[in-house]
Structure 1
Amino acid sequence: MKLTKLFSVLACAVLSSATVPTKTVKRVSPQFVQTQGSKFTVNGSEFPFIGTNVYWLAALNTEQDIIDTFSNISRLGINVVRTWAFNDVETIPENGTWFQLISNGTTTINNGTNGLQKLDLIIQHAERFGIYVLLSLTNNWSPLATDNLTDSIANLQSSVQSRATPVEVFNTSRARNFLSNDYGGMDVYVRQFGLKNHDEFYTNETLVQTYMNYTTQIVTRYVNSPSVFAWEIANDPRCNSSVAASPGCTANNITQWHSRIATHISSIDPNHLIASGSQGFLCLGCPKLFPLNPPAPPPGPSAPATPDRRTIAKPLTRARIIQERNERWKKTRALLPKSEQEQGARVRIRGRWVSTPTKRQDGVQGVGSAFDGSQGVDSEDILNIPQIGFGSFQLFPDQNSYGVDDPSLPAFNNTLQSGLDWITTHGQVANIYNKPVTLTGFGLVTQDNAPFFVPFNTTIAPFASQSTTNTTQNFGVTDSQQATAYSSWLNAGITSGISGLIQYQWSQGNLTGEPGTAISSNSDVTGQSSNSDTTSESPNDGYSIQGVGQSTIQGILQNAVQSVGNA
């Protein structure tokens, strides 16, 4: 969707005075993204979208690189880009971009050309190409390199579900901003203010006020810019992180924090929508701070009539999730030869029978960690906060579990199916709460990308080797499997009522490399280039689409753009 000339004039006017708070206007312009029930609208028309994550946009070394990146994204028809609107440092770096210094209990905002003026350029050129920008205001993940490699290996083997795959630790340093988790975030606040637990970021009054001050600086800077799609309170907020959580952290703590931050943002910016940015984890049966159906008022002469119980929306339940899963497993087993339906030994894939040693296990009744509140997130409760405009969820099966595996299916088919189920579940959430829900990031690591893969909560690439001749690792999916999953997930999102789907992550070549910055030569050893003339590729934490499958994935995204445009 192309934005009008008025949009351009307005955006440029905002940027010319961006260093001081501007006068807030009410959301009266239809050019701002709005909602109508479970749909987004722009200029009075429904606005479903396909987007991409470009977390490293502000780390680019030249304005022309920003322009070229947006130009290539726009060619596919993609009209929403998600990027980081935070870049916290504990000491001021010699080179590269930084937005906020957090040190010894104090904070300083960088309004210079290597600071928030970089974000100004992003907003300006996004408008030029008719692209909306979803801005995330902080990160849950901010790990430090660790010397305790034994524990790190054990944690990585569990977190990436590597099972029997050998892990070879690869921990050579990369330039700052090379990894998506190296832009600061919650744990920088916790460490620099002398606190111990990750979840104190949500409850400590000093940290809450400090973070709200940062959001004020960013939000007021772009309050009148229609090119901002929405504010995302944080990327993947939850109880745990690289700094340990306290035993008392619950989903209610995270929900209450969301309510407070969302209320603050909406008080200074009535123009833009607000979302959580979480993984979309659920807490079935947990007590709600914002119940879907508040208790009816006591009877009285002025009390409204009791609504028909059939019209009251029903939240997701443990019983519903288990029933839907069992029905799906039953259908899967029905595809097996009769001789194997009771063993679940094989399943037909693309006309061939594929073996799996796992036998069917009856009576598996757990809902899994994505549904039981163990992550400290209750997405339904967060979505029902009045100031939250739409829901968000993510899909990274390499790092998180989104259900219980069907023992009749081999590993990749379970990965594919768990993604489909997770998307369908959040389509149901959108319908129940009558608000849009967006998949803000989805990705799978391919075998070619496995050496570059760094989980969000570590600085280590577990499947890389310092020997270029190593060929023992077998983590990741094939390019064909990745393409199958992405195409299937996009189609499922479109048909399930998901209002926006954002792939993770975009890849860009022919960038200007500078020493000490995230934009480097092709080597993954240091993340730095040897001179300023080197043309480089964008950072890769394992999910980049650069390489063999790039044109295929771009084609899939382009087809999805056309699908939502014709919906």
Structure 2
Amino acid sequence: MRLSLLPVLCALISTAVAAKSVPKGFVTRKGSRFELDGKPFYFVGANSYWLPLLTTQEDVENTFKEMQGVGVKVLRTWGFNAINATELAGATQSGLTYYQVWNSSDWTLNDGPQGLQRLDNVIATAGRYGIKVILAFTNNWVGYGGAELYINWIAGAGNTHDVFYTDPRIISSYQRYVKTIVDRYKNSSTIFAWELMNEARCLGDLPAGPHCVPGSGTLHTWYKRQSDFVRSLDPHHLITTGGEGHFYWKRPVGYWLNGTFVSDYNFNGQAGEDFDADMQLENIDFGTYHLYPQFWYPELDTPDSNFTIESWGSGWIKDHALAAKKAGKPVILEEFGVSGLANKTHIYPEWVDLALASDHAILISIGTVGLKENGGNRLIKYADALIDGASPNDGFAIYKNQTAVWNLFTRAARIQAAKSV
């Protein structure tokens, strides 16, 4: 009897030692909830990929003040910004933030005042405002230098997107950059978590190949190897995938369109993720998922359809809450959006209330007004720009003058704060 209790006692002692060894101010996980210094940590957070692209401290400060006013406790932003060497002269002239410069089959690091020093400043400023930071290491998409740059420069033209997850040369290059970022900030209590990739899929701006298909486990294997690698560099900070939360369910899930049954990409494994299995990985501490049904199902979002954005989104939230409960880990509704203020005002209350009732954390796309650099107007890159003092808006940003939606998230932040005691 006594001997049979030994493994249990050893596990309890090991857990207690591990918890004690985590530095003060680091966010941890206890079962299905986040904790901060031993207390529950529920929160509303903000997405702001553009924050490190700002060039003045005044505008950075104003953005954090806006977040603090809503009650934001966590910021998610890009830990990457990469350019081709041919873009260097233009980037230098325009003041574009960049951390990597690609030339030939390799990249060089920019840790100067137009490079990682801007990210240093964002993280330091977040710390002063009591806001934790989730950093993503790269992008599934070409924007701001994601996986496609690794593929094009290392593997070469004609390759499919999924070679990013399997080519040893690409993995080595990715890990070299990851190590640079982790080593730079691993002692910072401002870091909430490391994110392996924003929205990893079998396909990106390049198509998927035959080796990344439902059941291949390509992404699952990559998630495991990279989360294990990050854990070897940093024993304390949380790690997550950054995925959209696609499922790989064996039973058919789909919809009828013009008399034909369409298998649903979000459930059939075609994207490459297996949310249920990915949540079980030892060094994936919590799950993430995104929610854009209006744009994922444009063929169904019509006046004569019984499909509704609101109800589909509610079902997606419930599916991830259930999967997280089975895994015994927290989950974050990391990105979500609909177009149009009327849609936001009508749909967001149900989604937010459902997420809060499921003990989710949620991240919103927050917008800021009153930015002053270059007179409040500056083209950054692509279509991203400051316009009349307003931060870049992809159609999902929430601004303070959108009172009903702004108040919804302010209320949600108060509810989360009340649970964090």
Q: Same fold (TM over 0.5)?
A: yes
Task: Indicate the TM-score class for this superposition, using the shorter chain for normalisation.
Answer: 0.7 to 0.9
Structure 2: distance between partners of 1:501 and 1:79? 11
1:511 and 2:360 correspond: no
Name the structure 1 match of 2:228.
Answer: 263
CA deviation after TM superposition for structure 1 residue 266, in Å: 0.6
1:284 and 2:249 correspond: yes
CA deviation after TM superposition for structure 1 residue 537, in Å: 1.7
Name the structure 2 match of 1:231.
Answer: 194
Count of residues in correspondence between the two structures: 391
1:561 to 399, 413, 418: 413
Q: 1:215 to 1:27 in 2, by over 3 A?
A: farther
Structure 1: distance between partners of 2:383 and 2:232? 44
Q: How does 1:103-182 map to 2 (within 5 A)?
A: 103-142=103-142, 182=143
CA deviation after TM superposition for structure 1 residue 33, in Å: 0.8
Which residue identity lines up with residue 275 of structure 1 in the other structure?
Answer: T
Name the structure 1 match of 2:12.
Answer: none
Q: 1:397 to 1:520 in 2, by over 3 A?
A: farther
CA deviation after TM superposition for structure 1 residue 521, in Å: 5.0
Q: Is the 8 A contact 1:281 1:373 kept in 2?
A: yes
Structure 1: distance between partners of 2:381 and 2:197? 28
Name the structure 2 match of 1:90.
Answer: 84
Q: How does 1:414-563 map to 2 (within 5 A)?
A: 414-446=308-340, 479-498=341-360, 500-503=361-364, 505-514=365-374, 520-521=377-378, 536-546=389-399, 550-563=402-415
Higher normalized contact order (CA 8 Å, seq sep 6+, divided by chain length): 1
Structure 2: distance between partners of 1:57 and 1:416? 30
Structure 2: distance between partners of 1:388 and 1:523? 34
Q: Deviation string for 1:218-237 (max 9, x for gaps)?
A: 01111011111101101100
Name the structure 2 match of 1:368.
Answer: 264
Structure 1: distance between partners of 2:122 and 2:380? 27
Name the structure 2 match of 1:474.
Answer: none
Q: Is the 8 A contact 2:211 2:218 kept in 1?
A: no
Q: 1:27 to 1:58 in 2, by over 3 A?
A: farther
Which residue identity lines up with residue 377 of structure 2 in the other structure?
Answer: S
CA deviation after TM superposition for structure 1 residue 428, in Å: 0.1
1:69 to 49, 63, 81: 63
Structure 2: distance between partners of 1:404 and 1:284? 22
Which residue identity lines up with residue 261 of structure 1 in the other structure?
Answer: Q
Q: Is the 8 A contact 1:402 1:419 kept in 2?
A: no
2:277 to 372, 377, 381: 381
Structure 1: distance between partners of 2:58 and 2:226? 35
Q: Is the 8 A contact 1:522 1:536 kept in 2?
A: no
Q: Is the 8 A contact 2:194 2:239 kept in 1?
A: yes
TM-score normalised over the length of structure 2: 0.85
1:209 and 2:163 correspond: no
- Structure in which a larger fraction of residues adopt helix: 2
Structure 2: distance between partners of 1:403 and 1:424? 23
- SS at 2:77 equivalent: strand
CA deviation after TM superposition for structure 1 residue 509, in Å: 1.6
CA RMSD of aligned residues (A): 3.1
Structure 1: distance between partners of 2:21 and 2:367? 34
TM-score normalised over the length of structure 1: 0.64
Structure 1: distance between partners of 2:105 and 2:132? 34
Q: 1:227 to 1:141 in 2, by over 3 A?
A: same
Q: Deviation string for 1:384-424 (max 9, x for gaps)?
A: 1111111110011233249998999655xx10011100000
Which deviates more, 225-234 or 87-96?
A: 87-96
Which residue identity lines up with residue 51 of structure 1 in the other structure?
Answer: G
Which of the two has higher C-alpha Rg?
1
1:188 and 2:45 correspond: no
Q: Taking every aligned residue pair, what percent have the same amino acid on both sides?
A: 31
Structure 2: distance between partners of 1:543 and 1:222? 30
Name the structure 1 match of 2:16.
Answer: none
Q: Is the 8 A contact 1:430 1:497 kept in 2?
A: no
